[in-house]
A and B are shown apart, each in its own frame.
Chain A
Amino acid sequence: MPTAAVKKNRPKYLSLRAILFEIRLPLPGWVSILHRVSGALLFASLVWLLFMLDRSLASEQDFAFVRHYLGLAPVKLALLVLIWAYCHHLCAGIRFLLLELQKGWEKEAARLSSIVVFVASLALTALFGAKLW
């Protein structure tokens, strides 16, 4: 039995300072917290998105208004963020489902699949962004 183990300060309590500056989150951790952040963003934008769907189907003039509205820089930026949020939420969700099926549990595989999630969601965002504008 190792008796010479270094005594650590336990228990360790989390502070905002620790969360922001001391703890380095591994990549799978970033996928996880961004899954939550993107989900919250999408929920918060639901009414706005429904408003645009409503207008786009209302009449020819309303459709033209939505098209013009989507061309405005702040709207474009906000929608691009939401497209990314949707793609990240989807890709990360698929990764979580695979993990639940016990696929990709090893450290290296989990790291690799995190990178795949980030790359795939950014690529999909670029694809849909290019299609929209």
Chain B
Amino acid sequence: MVNRIVVGAHYGWRDWLVQRVTAAVMALYSVILALVLLPGGPLTYEAWKALFARGWMRVATLLFAASLAWHAWIGVRDILMDYVKPTGVRLALQVLVILLLAGCLGWTAQILWGTP
């Protein structure tokens, strides 16, 4: 017998909360970035490079990217659960999505800290 109680188990509650917390992190980052970029004239390479050379900006961008990856995973998983019914296909697509998002997160870290 499977020992799972349907009522009171809170399955999915964590994902629900994660979706909202990561959304708040991304919203905050977006507002800060918009406030930094919107004043000022056309963007030069030097200014763009200098912005992402700052330690706090790199850490904030990595936190944004991590939030995005987790947020996108939950969202895309929900879409797949809604529209892709065969279990095998859905599992394969979900694994691909996880690999893609993890890859993107690694790439972001490389862009931020890698030396050109």
A93 to B27, CA, bound (A): 10
Instruction: Give 1 or 0 for each of B72-116: 1 = CB within 8 Å of chain A CB.
Output: 100110010000000000000000000011001001100100001
- Asked whether A50 and B72 contact (CB < 8 A) given A60-B45, A93-B23, the answer is no
With A50-B107, A131-B38 as contacts: A57 and B79 at CB distance below 8 Å: no
| Total A residues in contact with B, Cβ cutoff 8 Å | 25
**Residue A119 lies at the interface, judged by CB distance under 8 Å to chain B:** no
**Interface size of B as a range:** 20 to 34
Chain B residues whose CB sits within 8 angstroms of the CB of A94 once the complex forms: 27
- Shortest CB-to-CB span from A94 to chain B, Å, is 7
Residue numbers of A with Cβ under 8 A of B are 36, 39-40, 42-43, 46-47, 50, 53-54, 56-60, 63-64, 86, 90, 93-94, 97, 127-128, 131
